[in-house]
Structures are given as structure tokens and as C-alpha cells.
Chain A
Amino acid sequence: MSAVLIWAGAAVCAFAAVRLLLTRDRFLRLHFVSLASVLATPLVIAGLALASWSSWHDVAKLVIIGALLFVTGPATVIAAGHATKRVSDG
């Protein structure tokens, strides 16, 4: 189960990166950017948390890092969206 989750998260991240490169529309690219932090991060964190760690402190640290990425990802994309709209509007 752990390996499947990690694989799924890595695959989602790779998919988002490839689609980012292939997509021309500025606003559509931001959707693929947020995919990494909103979908790939929870999958990889869940997979790693199920793996064997020496202490629960390590799992707590993993969850904190995952929560940080999960919360800050959309905030960054929103800020980038505002900047993109200003540039597009001139």
C-alpha cells in the first residue's frame, strides 16, 4: 500500500510537470502547478507515513511538511494568478 501511494504521488507530480511544459495558456498552467501540492503531496506523505520509521516524531515531521506544502501551494498559485492577471490586463 505504501509503495502504491508513493508511486501514485510521484506519477501525479511528473504528469503535472509534463503538462505544464505542454500547455500554452497561462491560467491553465496554474491548474497543473497546484496539482503537485494538492494531490501529489498528500499521496507521497501518506505513503511515506505508512513506511517504517524509527519514531513517531519522524511521522509527525512528515505530516507537518505535508501540511505546509498542502496549505502554501494554493496560496502561491493564487498569488501567481493575480500577477498573471495583472500582466495579461496590462
Chain B
Amino acid sequence: MSPLAVALPAAFALLVAALFPCLLATLRGEPVDRLSGLILAGPAATLALLLLAAGYGRPAYLDAAFVVALLSFAGSLVFARFLGRIV
């Protein structure tokens, strides 16, 4: 078994585990405090999808990661602008 075959599932599990603190951060505090959890969840989910695409050997799955990266950026930016404006 190659080192990559071991590293990919383990790194995927680590990234999915990293999503739980992000989820908890979005569930507590004031709205502007929750925003940081939402922002961090975007790259973590994108990287997890990239690892899935590599692990399954399906390059077409990279498109899903691209869409998530694009939408998480747009969503986080909209929330940041909105929260900064309502004060």
C-alpha cells in the first residue's frame, strides 16, 4: 500500500473533523463572532472535496470543489458586508 493511499483517507478524516469546531463556532456568540467559523468552513470543505476527488480517482469531482470555493467566498463576503452595515 502506497503512502498516499494511507494519507488521503486519514487527511480527509482530519479535515472533516476540522469542520466540527467550525460548526460549533458558528453556533455560539454574537453574529460577527459566528462569521469566523463560517469563513473557515469554506476552505476546509473545499480541501476535503479535493481529497475525495483524488482518493476516488475522479477528476470530474474537482468541479464540485471549485463551486464550493467560489460560493463560500461569495457567501462569506455577503455576510461580512451585511453585518458591517447593520450596526
Contact = CB atoms under 8 A, between A and B. Distances in A.
**Most chain A beta-carbon neighbours within 10 Å: one of B6, B33, B70, B76:** B76
B87 A87 contact: yes
A68 B70 contact: yes
A80 B70 CA distance: 17
Interface string B24-35: 110000101101
Q: Per DSSP, are chain A's interface residues mostly helix, strand or loop, or mixed? A: helix
B77 A75 contact: yes
Contacts of B25: 20-21, 29
Contacts of A83: 32, 35, 80-81, 83-84
Contacts of A84: 32, 35
